[in-house]
Amino acid sequence: MAVTLRDFMSGGDVLTIEPSVTLSEAARAMRRREVGAAVVTDGGNLVGIFTERDLLRAIAESRHPDQHRVESYMTPDPITLPPDHLPSEAAQIMHDRKFRHIPVVEDGEVIGVVSIRDLVTAGMHIHSADAHVGSDFP
């Protein structure tokens, strides 16, 4: 049985925010949930993703986080993947496109977010069966 994104993605209660939320409100929500990305929805529809890197870009541009909105800094219409996608393929997309989070969508609904950290965890689990504990070290 192949390992898929469903096995390693951060799922369940996905952090969603609206495009009109201020940067500071988004940052506080992400900190409370201890996540590096929030899915941006409008009327229940996925319209973007807002990440810690987007926040950093706004701050670096001297934008005051209480005066600017997520919609100005989010990635609109992000790439999404289905939950049965292979982790290695997700990792390749992240590498090629230079981002660290991808919303996972099933039947038109966001069911999770896969992060580069999730993929590292997946890689550790996949390759642990091949490890020769103790025998590879002097």
Side by side, the strands of the sheet bearing 109-115 are 10-11, 109-115, 101-106
Please, are residues 65 and 59 in contact by the beta-carbon 8 Å criterion? yes
Report the distance separating Cα 103 and Cα 92, nearest Å.
15
Report the distance separating Cα 29 and Cα 48, nearest Å.
16
User: In the prediction, which pLDDT does 131 show?
Assistant: 42
H or E element in which residue 127 lies: helix 116-128
pLDDT surpasses 70 at 122: no
pLDDT surpasses 90 at 117: no
pLDDT surpasses 60 at 49: yes
What DSSP designation does 2 have? -
Share of the chain above pLDDT 70, in %: 87
Q: What is the pLDDT of residues 22-37, one digit of tens each?
A: 999 999 999 999 999 9
pLDDT surpasses 50 at 63: yes
Token pair in block for residue 30: 């992400």
Phi-psi group of 107: left, alpha or beta (phi > 0 → left; psi -120 to 50 → alpha; rest → beta): left
Q: Which domains does the chain have, with CATH numbers?
A: 5-128 (3.10.580.10)
User: In the prediction, which pLDDT does 125 show?
Assistant: 59
Which residue in the block uniquely carries the two structure tokens 């999404």? 80
Whole-prediction pTM: 0.84
